[in-house]
Structure 1
């Protein structure tokens, strides 16, 4: 009898811990789907402090979510699936070049919900002011809470010199 009780208790604890792990396995719901990574050689390391800047230059086809921006969501979901807590990751996505219009606050921009989801997950979305100027965008034209940087060049080099990893699209 005691054995059955202990087996039931153990099963309940395992189900709860598995459910809890699955709860935190997605940092950015609805974006950046990932495949299971059990058994992979290089896994996210919960003991590391992740400081990563993404250089987002690739334009998206009209009406589609930007693949490079979605890569940021996928990265966050991979980190979360490996047990890396959101507060252990400093992530910046710097938008510039042909990708500049993806941060425009217009009703038919399919990237607005992704930008909001990334920001909710703690990602800083930054725009190159030089690219803004070339695209004839003003601060009022941007999605909420997009940070305006002097240039992508200075942001990328400053963060690299401070020890950040850079991911290019």
Structure 2
């Protein structure tokens, strides 16, 4: 049996009046990567240097940017707001599995899914900020994705395993999210 207090708590938590964080985009990637302001107990110094690889195998929705790709925009925006200059951040995106379809150029994406690739503007913005993008050649071969099917600037790797290993040898750490 629910008590009046538990009923009230349920109403408050599900209410539009419930406390929630405000997420906003920018300052590095303007239209993607919404983040919340956080009062850190151990603030960043601004001297940090990041080399991070994001590994993505899940394909996004056909009508909006892949949320996993948007994680790179969130990372850039979050660190910039915390005082880390973007030039101190190097990011790489390694894509494999069905997520490879999210790297198709508009013509190929439209032939396959009936619309322009919603990932194209995000990927272009990430590349403009130095993000390198690598597609697993093994996944591409399996899904019959050719180099000419890809958006500009996508690197075809021998495999995702190889790309991740090489990036780690270059000092990149793997982001587990």
TM-score (norm 1): 0.79
Q: Deviations over 1:3-28 (max 9, x none)?
A: xxxxxxxxxxxxxxxxxxxxxx6111
Q: Deviations over 1:71-109 (max 9, x none)?
A: 111001011111212221111001111211010002511
* 1:103 has 2:103 as partner: yes
- Give the 3-state SS of the residue equivalent to 1:153 in structure 2: helix
In the alignment, what sits opposite 1:142? 150
Superposed displacement of residue 44, structure 1: 4.3
* 1:130 has 2:138 as partner: yes
For structure 2, list consecutive stretches of 5 or more residues without a partner in the other structure.
1-25, 111-115
For structure 1, list consecutive stretches of 5 or more residues without a partner in the other structure.
1-24
Cα separation, 1, equivalents of 2:95 and 2:44: 25
Give yes or no for contact 1:56–1:99 (8 Å, CA) kept in 2: yes
* 1:51 has 2:51 as partner: yes
* 1:79 has 2:87 as partner: no
Superposed displacement of residue 158, structure 1: 2.5
Question: In structure 2, do the counterparts of structure 1 residues 85 and 141 end up closer, same or farther at CA, with 3 Å as the change threshold?
Answer: same
Question: In structure 2, do the counterparts of structure 1 residues 148 and 42 end up closer, same or farther at CA, with 3 Å as the change threshold?
Answer: farther
- From 142, 149, 160, the equivalent of 2:168 is 160
In the alignment, what sits opposite 1:120? 128
Cα separation, 2, equivalents of 1:143 and 1:95: 13
Give yes or no for contact 1:86–1:122 (8 Å, CA) kept in 2: no
Question: Structure 1 stretches (4+) deviating beyond 3 angstroms?
Answer: 42-45
Superposed displacement of residue 132, structure 1: 1.1
In the alignment, what sits opposite 1:31? 32
Q: Deviations over 1:122-141 (max 9, x none)?
A: 11111111111111111111
In the alignment, what sits opposite 2:40? 40
What is the number of residues matched between the two proteins?
144
TM-score (norm 2): 0.75
Cα separation, 1, equivalents of 2:52 and 2:66: 19
Cα separation, 1, equivalents of 2:103 and 2:58: 13
Question: In structure 2, do the counterparts of structure 1 residues 163 and 122 end up closer, same or farther at CA, with 3 Å as the change threshold?
Answer: closer
Q: Deviations over 1:10-49 (max 9, x none)?
A: xxxxxxxxxxxxxxx6111100011112x22344442122
